[in-house]
Amino acid sequence: MKKSDLAGIFFRSLSIQSSWNFRGMQNVGFAYSLIPLVRSREDKKLISGILARHVPPFSSHPYLTGAIIASVARLEEEAGESSGCQEAVHRKEALMAPYAAVGDPFFWGGLRPFSSVAGVILALEGLVIAPLFFLLVYNSIHMWIRLKGFIEGYRDGRGGLGFLGRIALPHKTKVFKWSATFLLALLAAVFVNSSFPLANLAWGLALGGTLALVLFCSWLVGRGISSLTVLYGAALFFVVVV
């Protein structure tokens, strides 16, 4: 495959969410990304066969889909003029759920909250670099993972499993989550100090009580009590108290 076609597949994969739909989720974006692979082929039946194989429902974390798309492109390319490449279909179906399970906690639950809270703290301090800091931290990490994952996915044809194993996203998810929690505590301190210059013991007790209530609710959920029951119970508690 030409490097220009490979680059075209990568850039198309960046917009995989733009055609999200309830029926097939990311399927249209997935098939759209593969168009550079089949553009130079003359057999219309072969072209329609390749695209038809990858139109069924597909859903994974958008930042990790590039590695899957690259792997599928490699397998379809190696299959050449054969009537079908079921290995590419099986590879896609096998990777989409695990990659979603790894990507969602890391990007949505770790990296984004960390960079967002850090940007807010800088903004409260009056630093004009705050929005730029958020964009640089968040985009530099997620774009590097998207690009490197795509390259490794095409290189090994296995969805970049070796690359994702080396960067250990589950471990880094914990690091970013704890860091975001620390920054949230710092943000609360900055907010109280700037908005309530006369903050006294009452405010400390209020914040401590809120934290204790959150921890208590988490303990209840851990004991097997429905989160919906805990939510309604907490709402009733605040209605009675307030």
Q: What is the pLDDT along the chain (242 residues), one digit of tens a residue?
A: 788 889 999 999 999 999 999 999 999 999 999 988 887 666 666 677 778 888 899 999 999 999 999 999 998 888 765 555 788 889 999 999 999 999 999 999 999 988 988 888 888 777 888 888 889 999 999 999 999 999 999 998 888 889 998 998 988 888 888 888 777 777 776 666 555 444 444 555 555 566 677 677 777 777 788 777 877 777 777 677 65
For position 103, what pLDDT does the model report?
Answer: 93
For position 211, what pLDDT does the model report?
Answer: 63
For position 197, what pLDDT does the model report?
Answer: 47
Number of helices (H), then strands (E), belonging to the chain: the values are: 12, 0
> What is the rounded distance in angstroms from the CA atom of residue 56 to the CA atom of residue 231?
37
> What is the rounded distance in angstroms from the CA atom of residue 149 to the CA atom of residue 98?
15
> What is the rounded distance in angstroms from the CA atom of residue 237 to the CA atom of residue 242?
8
Q: What residues have CB less than 8 Å from 56, skipping those under 6 apart? A: 24, 27
For position 32, what pLDDT does the model report?
Answer: 92
Asked whether 77 and 38 are in contact (CB, 8 A), the reply is: no
The C-alpha R_g of the chain, in whole angstroms, comes to: 24
> What is the rounded distance in angstroms from the CA atom of residue 109 to the CA atom of residue 102?
11
> What is the rounded distance in angstroms from the CA atom of residue 228 to the CA atom of residue 241?
20
> What is the rounded distance in angstroms from the CA atom of residue 64 to the CA atom of residue 2?
23
For position 219, what pLDDT does the model report?
Answer: 76
